[in-house]
Structures are given as C-alpha cells and as structure tokens.
Amino acid sequence: CQPNMWTEWVFSIVYSETWMVPVLYFRAHWMDGEVLSRKQVLDFLISDDFANEDEEWDFISQEEHPENGFPSFFLHPCRTSERIDMLFSADSHNNKDIVSSGCLLLSWLSLILPAVKFEISPRDYLHLKGLLRKPK
C-alpha cells in the first residue's frame, strides 16, 4: 500500500441474468488515479485475524464491469441466492412486503457490505426501510 494516501471506492449493483441475483461490483484506486491491484484490495479488506486465509477470499473476483466496461472487482454471486433465501426465512410473514418495497435489496446490502468494510448503521437501515415502505 502507498502510505498516507487516500483511496476511492466506487460501488455499483448489477443484476446478473446468469445467476438471477444482484451482484456488487466495485473499483478502487488511489487518489492519484492508480488502480489498486487485487492484492492491495485484499490487503485492505482482510483483517489481521484472517491474514493467512487468502483462500477464504476467493469470492472476490475481477472482470470487466458488464455495464461500463471498466476493470472491476465483484463479490461472486454463487452464494447470493442462498443468502436471499435466508432473508426470506428470517421474515417469512413479511416476504411480499419485503420484495415489493425494495427492502430485500437493502437487507441484502446490509449482509454483504461488511465484506468490503462498509456498513449500513442500524439507524440508517431503519430510516431507509421506512422510506422504501412509504406509499408512492
């Protein structure tokens, strides 16, 4: 890593027709414009507790962004369906409301964003959930 330099991370969500789930894509670069390598991204994301477990981080891959063509990292969608099913089972009496209001995407984001060291605070989650449930 470059000491004393800031990085910028740009996130986007793209629906995967292949996996039939949302996929989190991201780019990371130093403020001078130099793109972070996969190793630099993993060095940033992996805490000291997991420093010797690179194989556990194979869910972060790199490919061309499907919409803009930029080289991007993404959280591999292979287990996303399983996680979404878990969200449904956790709140089975409210499933229709979750899907129709957009709360499913918000809940999914709250599960996956910690993998890239970003979190939605409980206060913000509740605020956003309230906004999504307001009648149009």
Is 103 a residue of the active site? no
Q: Torsion over CA of 66, 70, 76 and 77, rounded to 10 degrees? A: -20
CA 23, 104, 119, 10 torsion-angle sign: positive
CA 3 to chain CA mean position, Å: 26
Active-site option among 51, 78, 86, 131: 78
β-bridge partners, 64: 71
Reference 101, options 131, 72, 63, 66; nearest CA is: 131
Q: What are the catalytic residues? A: 78
